[in-house]
Structure 1
Amino acid sequence: MSEGPEGVRDRATVRLGVPTLTAMVVGSMVGAGVFSLPATFAAETGVLGAIIAWAIAGVGMLMLALAFQTLAVRRPQLDAGVYAYAKAGFGELIGFFSAFGYWASACVGNVTYWVLIMSTLGAVFPVLGDGDTPLAFALSSAGLWVFFLLVRRGVREAAAVNRIVTVAKLVPIVVAVLLSLFVLDPAVFAENLLGAGDAGTLFEQVQGTMLVTVFVFLGVEGASVYSRHARRRQDVGRATVLGFLAVFSVFASVTIVSYGVLPAAELAELRQPSLAGVLEAAVGGWGAVLVSAGLIVAVLGAYLAWTLMAAEVVFVAAKDHDMPRFLARSNARDVPVGALLSSTVLAQAVLVVAMTAVDAFDFALNLTSALALVPFLFAAGYLVRVAVADGGGIRRRDLVIGVLATAYVLFLLVGAGLTYLLVSLIVQVPAVALFLVARREQGRRLLSRSEWVVLLVATAGAVVGIAGLAGGWIIL
């Protein structure tokens, strides 16, 4: 095959239809998060707060899903979703920050999967602890590289495996919901309406769940990220909305029915994956085994989907000259091997850091959410610009969706607080070196005046984050 000017082979791109793209969305969203929902929500709020939180998250994430659907139609030439939209709307450096932030979010999120798998197995093999022991670290590291070799075999093969696994992992979750609903105790459910006595105000309770809802909904943009592989551009939007609606119903059901099985205080103290504890209380030990087996299948499937998506974003950014050209290499099976290898190396580095955190799972979960919020913000903001700037006057529907999606992400950023946003800047600012290498490879000026301003603001945030870690007021 012929080589392009950057050493990238010219070959036909693998094409995927609505079912496979929808499975990419569902597969990336249904992972570690859904199995941790009962304890995570019960620690923050009761039934009423959970319903309000899911209503806010559902509307907000639906707006984001519709934003990705609309942009897929309005700007069909833009591939890789969040990165491409940020770059088109706000410039190359912002596009780079979105690409790297999204990539880092995916890699950090992948670490939560291995931590949770090891924590689940730790219930049977105590030497694995809560997924943070030396043996758990060694096994998680081995898993990272086994999946690297699997995905390297081909995009079509990996996507087909993801489609099968997506169906397989939904079965135990749906069974768990139905069984919990069957044994639901109305008295326990009523006692849990307002949560534990020290849960705080209703607003504080809802605010405490926001990063969790972000984490479990990450992946709603999955079809958009993989848009260059879509058979038709309309398929991207359809897959996004179908995947979101399916997953939202599952997440909300898992959370609400759990309040009818155990008191909120007991739910909050359950070992992760807490859904296993809920089903054990409902039907006995075999219920915990069912959920634990389902978790491992679900997590491995989500890991596969996110590995594909993480590599895809970096690959397209490198093809657009916003990342070094070595990340634009792909093999004969249309796998971006340079980006895939870099994703695995980054995940390995994050795994090392997570092992030193007070709570490895919570650390990775919150950092994943914080890293993803800024790319989401720029994607939603770009739809606002498109709605206003397109010829023929303002598109009111698009503007409403864009404004609501933007407002939702801003609400999440405020609710999350500064801690993880500052920590995410510590990760992102040094990565600008990759952007500068890409500029040098093209013989271009390293940064424009406006880009210097953006970098200086980001650097100031990173410095504050480092000071917080050193001073002890930021604790991972």
Structure 2
Amino acid sequence: MSTATTTPQSDTEVPGTTDASGTPGATESEGKHSRRFGLPIATALVMGNIIGGGIFLLPASVAPYGTISLVAFGVLTLGAIALALVFGRLAHRHPTTGGPYVYARAAFGDFAGFLTAWSYWITAWVSNAALAVAAVGYLDVLIPLHGSKPATIGAALLVQWLPALANLAGTRYVGAVQIVATVLKFVPLLLVAVGGLLFFDSADLGPFRAGDESALGAVSASAAILLFSYLGVESAAVSAGEVRDPRRNVGRATVLGTLAAAFLYLLTTLSVFGTVPHERLVASNAPFTDAVNLMFGGSWGGTAVACMALVSMLGALNGWTLLSAQTPYAAARDGLFPKVFARKRRGVPTAGVLVTVVLASLLTVYNYTAGTAGVFETLVLVTTFTATVPYLLSSAAQFFFLLSGHSDRVHRPRLIRDTVLTLVAFGFSLWLVAGSGHAAVYQGVLFLFGGVLVYAGMSARGRRAAMGEGAPRS
């Protein structure tokens, strides 16, 4: 059955029932461990997934390009907001779990839906491995691992499995962890940002364009580094089936979460730029530590920043683990992924969580045992490319809906505005693909083509099942 003309109900919805807040849709089978996300938790989910560990490294990473990198921040923010608004409109039309997968399948059919789900799934578990490896670097500040490879691998696996266990405990606990993690990382980061403005010295900013690139080249080069940090704007849309009143709350949570994350990114980067001298910032491995030490003196900054970074990454892993299970769950319900991914326990697709954390764990172990940091960095860039595939297809789906002329999809008074936003979001997504680099696009396409064989198998299985049902019975 095509979702282009019908909006499937979430399996957690049964007419005539209400959740604890009186919202129609919850079933008794959800139990006390499952709870629908309200606007605050949905917003925290978006913020938590956008703001991972990258924020603690960004100022030093883009410092070699000069303060022109702040222009790249601005361009990325505008593009991310355009995507957020597009996802909000799409979620209003299709308020079900799956997000980009649902939109692409509704507009372009099963194959486009599968590619979206497959690409997004790759993004999720590779990103989890990247976050876990980065988190260990900050954990080493708190609990020195002394370079022990077994201890380092064990810590990385622990960082991944703790959020997975929180997910397996139920959506009620996922939401609780996300709220706590978001508050614990947002408040101290905001304090650092405000404190940095109090100690701001324009002499520390350095040149506007520090390298030999042209202005456009510098913006594009610094933007390529910043791309990974803006992934996650689609978080609330992917989990729309678990959001209370999704037609209203998904769009608001997406925009609010994106704006809050962008504000924090820009403010903290500007503060660090104006606190740490440019020459020192370019060579820094811990820019926030340097900024705190210069602001308040002493050497306690490293420990404080390590705690904030660790909490931030655990919150991001908590949210991304849920998202990594939601898209295969939606595809499995439509017969495009194995049926095991469609099973839920306590409101969470358990198979998706387990398979994701196992794959991420294997990739993490490979990274440490092979000792090939360059390969792992390329895989991180691959996640930027694979994430833009759902962005491109979602923007194209919105464009299709707007041009299709169906009265149930087109908001005629806002048609021009929605069309402009959609074109901006599509152009922004293409820019993300270009910023990923040739190597990442090459390997990302190989990942995508690997999924074509899976789609062929699932389609053949569905065809056989359909033929079996249509065969005459004796």
- TM-score range for the pair, normalised by the shorter chain length: 0.7 to 0.9
Q: Cα deviations across residues 411-436 of structure 1 (Å, max 9, x unaligned)?
A: 22123322111112232322334323
Aligned twin of 1:390: 405
Aligned twin of 2:437: 417
Of 107, 114, 117, the residue aligned with 1:96 is 114
What is the Cα deviation at residue 343 of structure 1? 0.8
What is the Cα deviation at residue 209 of structure 1? 2.2
Change over 3 Å in CA distance of 1:143–1:54 after alignment to 2: closer
Pair 1:349 & 2:362 matched = yes
Which runs of structure 2 are paired with 1:18-33 in the superposition (5 Å)? 18-33=39-54
Aligned twin of 1:244: 258
8 Å contact from structure 1 (residues 87, 93) kept in 2: yes
Write the distance in 1 (CA, Å) between the matches of 2:367 and 2:95: 38
Change over 3 Å in CA distance of 1:141–1:348 after alignment to 2: same
Aligned twin of 2:308: 294
Of 97, 100, 121, the residue aligned with 2:139 is 121
Q: For residue 252 of structure 1, what is the amino acid of its counterpart?
A: L
Aligned twin of 2:470: none
Pair 1:327 & 2:345 matched = no
Which runs of structure 2 are paired with 1:267-282 in the superposition (5 Å)? 267-271=281-285, 273-282=286-295
Of 68, 72, 80, the residue aligned with 1:61 is 80
What is the Cα deviation at residue 281 of structure 1? 3.4
Q: Cα deviations across residues 119-163 of structure 1 (Å, max 9, x unaligned)?
A: 12334666465xx94431222123323332221111111112211
**Aligned partner of residue 442 in structure 1, secondary structure:** helix
What is the Cα deviation at residue 349 of structure 1? 2.6
Aligned twin of 2:17: none
Write the distance in 1 (CA, Å) between the matches of 2:294 and 2:367: 31
Unaligned runs of 5+ in 2: 1-10, 12-26, 467-474
Q: For residue 384 of structure 1, what is the amino acid of its counterpart?
A: F
Change over 3 Å in CA distance of 1:137–1:128 after alignment to 2: farther
8 Å contact from structure 1 (residues 112, 365) kept in 2: yes
Aligned twin of 1:145: 161
What is the Cα deviation at residue 360 of structure 1? 7.1
Q: Cα deviations across residues 89-136 of structure 1 (Å, max 9, x unaligned)?
A: 23322221211111111111112221122112334666465xx94431
Unaligned runs of 5+ in 1: 447-476
Of 20, 28, 37, the residue aligned with 1:16 is 37
Write the distance in 1 (CA, Å) between the matches of 2:105 and 2:28: 25
What is the Cα deviation at residue 224 of structure 1? 0.4
Q: For residue 292 of structure 1, what is the amino acid of its counterpart?
A: A
Change over 3 Å in CA distance of 1:216–1:444 after alignment to 2: farther
TM-score (norm 2): 0.84
Pair 1:188 & 2:204 matched = yes
Change over 3 Å in CA distance of 1:145–1:186 after alignment to 2: closer
Which runs of structure 2 are paired with 1:226-245 in the superposition (5 Å)? 226-232=239-245, 233-245=247-259
Write the distance in 2 (CA, Å) between the matches of 1:287 and 1:68: 38
**Aligned partner of residue 57 in structure 2, secondary structure:** helix
What is the Cα deviation at residue 170 of structure 1? 0.6
Aligned twin of 1:465: none
Pair 1:35 & 2:56 matched = yes
What is the Cα deviation at residue 280 of structure 1? 2.6
Q: For residue 88 of structure 1, what is the amino acid of its counterpart?
A: A
Of 334, 338, 341, the residue aligned with 2:351 is 338
Of 387, 390, 403, the residue aligned with 2:423 is 403
Aligned twin of 1:200: 213
Aligned twin of 1:178: 194
8 Å contact from structure 1 (residues 31, 301) kept in 2: yes
8 Å contact from structure 1 (residues 69, 236) kept in 2: yes
What is the Cα deviation at residue 199 of structure 1? 4.6
C-alpha RMSD of the superposition: 2.4
